[in-house]
């Protein structure tokens, strides 16, 4: 909650935890530089800091969300690169001209070859 309770009239941010009407609010942290008393600008970092201080949430990692996002982006890039390498290995021979895919020898292809053989001159027939 923003408060203008600084000795110099500056705006400061204090985070309290409300635990019901029977107990007083518990002070968690001061969002600012403790030595100079200047408040930090509001950002998502304050949410990460509050989650780090939250005792009710089990298993929360106190890592910064920017670090987590950078790790996630790097992991997805690595997976994409590995997938691209696997595809290149699978189709590498075809792209280099060493292998070719076999055409399906269907009925129409057979009829086309028979017609072609009938219409060729005798000297060109096999």
Asked if 51 and 60 touch (Cβ cutoff 8 Å), the reply is yes
Partnered with residue 14 across adjacent β-strands are 30
pLDDT band of residue 70 (cuts 50, 70, 90) is very high
Residues 53 and 76 in one domain: no
Residue 97 has pLDDT above 90, yes or no: no
Residue whose C-alpha is closest to residue 9's, from 46, 42, 41, 38? 38
Q: How many CB atoms lie within 10 A of CB 37?
A: 13
Boundary (domain end) residue, out of 41, 62, 83 = 62
Residues 70 and 53 in one domain: no
Asked if 12 and 39 touch (Cβ cutoff 8 Å), the reply is yes
Rounded-to-integer distance, Cα 67 and Cα 73, Å: 10
Total of domains in the chain: 2
Q: Is residue 14 part of a domain?
A: yes
Dihedral angle sign, alpha carbons of residues 7, 13, 14, 20: positive
Residues 70 and 56 in one domain: no
Residues 97 and 74 in one domain: yes
Confidence at residue 42, expressed as pLDDT on a 0 to 100 scale: 79
Confidence at residue 80, expressed as pLDDT on a 0 to 100 scale: 93
Residues 42 and 94 in one domain: no
Range of the domain at 57: 2-62
Residues 109 and 79 in one domain: yes
Residues 39 and 77 in one domain: no
Rounded-to-integer distance, Cα 120 and Cα 123, Å: 8
Q: Is residue 9 part of a domain?
A: yes
Residue 2 has pLDDT above 70, yes or no: no
Asked if 53 and 30 touch (Cβ cutoff 8 Å), the reply is no
Q: For 5-34, what is the mean pLDDT? A: 77
Confidence at residue 76, expressed as pLDDT on a 0 to 100 scale: 95
């Amino acid at each position: 909650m923003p408060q203008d309770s600084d000795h110099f009239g500056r705006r400061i941010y204090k985070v309290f935890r409300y635990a019901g009407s029977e107990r007083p609010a518990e002070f968690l942290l001061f969002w600012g530089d403790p030595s100079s008393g200047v408040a930090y600008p509001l950002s998502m970092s304050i949410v990460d800091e509050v989650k780090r201080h939250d005792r009710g949430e089990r298993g929360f990692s106190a890592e910064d969300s920017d670090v987590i996002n950078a790790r996630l982006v790097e992991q997805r890039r690595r997976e994409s690169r590995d997938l691209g390498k696997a595809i290149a290995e699978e189709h590498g021979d075809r792209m280099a001209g060493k292998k070719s895919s076999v055409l399906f020898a269907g009925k129409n292809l057979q009829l086309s070859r028979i017609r072609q053989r009938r219409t060729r001159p005798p000297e060109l027939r096999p």
